[in-house]
Amino acid sequence: MSRGLGDVYKRQAYIIAEAGVNHNGNLDLAFRLCEEAKKAGVDAVKFQTWKTEKIVTCSAQLASYQEKNIQDVSLSQYEMLKRLELSYEQFIQLQSFCRELDIEFLSTPDEEDSLDFLMRLGLPFIKIGSGEVTNIPYLRKIGMYRKPVVLSTGMSTIGQVSLAYDTLLSSGASEVTLLHCTTNYPCPMGEVNLRAMQTLKETFKCRVGYSDHTMGIEVPIAAVAMGATLVEKHFTLDRNMAGPDHKASLNPLELKQMVVAIRNIEDALGDGIKRPNKSELNISGVVLKSIVAKCPILKGEVLTADNLTVKRVGSGISAAYWDLLLGTTASLDYSTDEPIQLK
């Protein structure tokens, strides 16, 4: 029986360090990415698994962002992906290495054979990229595994997301988390539209998260503050390396800074109940103001705005009771600045 995503998320946002294809087809670089992800304190490191001949034709051209980010623009998309492809045996080694590091291994299957392979590895949930939102037969097969699914929704309308979401659940997926995403590398701030994540939550009444392709760490931090239960962020060992995704990725230090910031924001969010905390209770006695005599007051004299004022004094009647005190009579003689007392 598969774990629910509630078991995965627990009480904190689940943070995925997206290694993706930033290993450049080199297993040693992939191992180093796992090590850096562990050092950064993320929950999981994720790769992408495919057989090139099953996802792209030999004549398919590079996407515009890929042309900008790789050094050899003469490559076809097939040639580029073939250079980046890792074997199934290498993914088995990566999972074993992650177990030794005590970090969750994940990988996105980009076609059915790789889906079957990754399911044999016992991953806690299936992470699906934005490119599969409209791939209904593939989504049906994913649902048939009856596991939790996390679906990125870049390039999609709300109607397309609805069809994908319903297809996964009707096919057997135990739960679906939707990730808002803008499929551009890097994504300009003006194209993030982070409020769309909340639209997904309101529309589908499900857990939501954010898959980030912006430069920097601000947006995933903001996403957690806005209710993201999962965030995914690309990272690399070096942004200057050749490859399609390096330039839109964090370096290891930035990844760690993002994790620390997210955990700090989670602590800062609190429980939503408006009340003074323990440290404020100690301070409030000194800072909050009380009602005191503005001038000498004799016993029996009527208390008015002319002979009362409010000041910090550390004791006495709170200024919140000002209206209740006006018009009553003094029970004692008071000197200037002496706190007023109840009978």
Residues 6+ apart with CB under 8 A from 234: 18, 19, 20, 22, 185, 212, 213, 245, 248, 249, 250
CA distances from 83 to 23, 69, 179, 243 (A): 11, 15, 28, 10
Residue 49 has pLDDT above 70, yes or no: yes
- CA 138-81-75 angle, 5° bins: 135
pLDDT tens, 321-343? 999 999 999 999 999 999 999 87
Average pLDDT over residues 12-17: 96
Residue 5: band (very low, low, confident or very high) from pLDDT cuts 50, 70, 90: low
The amino acid at residue 266 is: E
Top-confidence residue, 70 or 168? 168
Mean pLDDT of the chain: 94
pLDDT (tens digit per residue) in 177-210:
999 999 998 999 999 999 999 999 999 999 999 9
Question: Beta-strand (E) ranges in 235-307?
Answer: 289-293
Return the pLDDT at 1.
Answer: 32
Taking only the tens place, the pLDDT of each residue in 97-133 is 999 999 999 999 999 999 999 999 999 999 999 999 9
Phi and psi for 31 in degrees, rounded to 5? -60, -45
Q: What's the mean pLDDT in 259-286?
A: 94
CB burial readout 94-133, b (16+ within 10 A) else e: bbebbeebebbbbbbbbbeebbebbeebebbbbbbbbebb
Taking only Cα atoms into account, the Rg of the chain, rounded to an integer number of angstroms, comes to: 29
Q: What is the mean predicted confidence (pLDDT) over 239-244?
A: 91
Query: What is the rounded CA–CA span in Å between residue 13 and residue 211?
Result: 13
Q: What is the rounded CA–CA span in Å between residue 85 and residue 73?
A: 18
Predicted pLDDT of residue 280: 94
Lookup: tokens for 39: 């050092």
Work out the pLDDT band at 221, boundaries 50, 70, 90: very high
User: How far is 210 from 187, CA to CA, in rounded Å?
Assistant: 13
- Domains in the chain with CATH codes: 10-269 (3.20.20.70), 278-325 (no CATH)
Q: Label residue 59 by pLDDT band (50, 70, 90).
A: confident
pLDDT value at 9 more than 80: no
- HSE-CB at 315 with a 13 A cutoff on CA atoms is 6
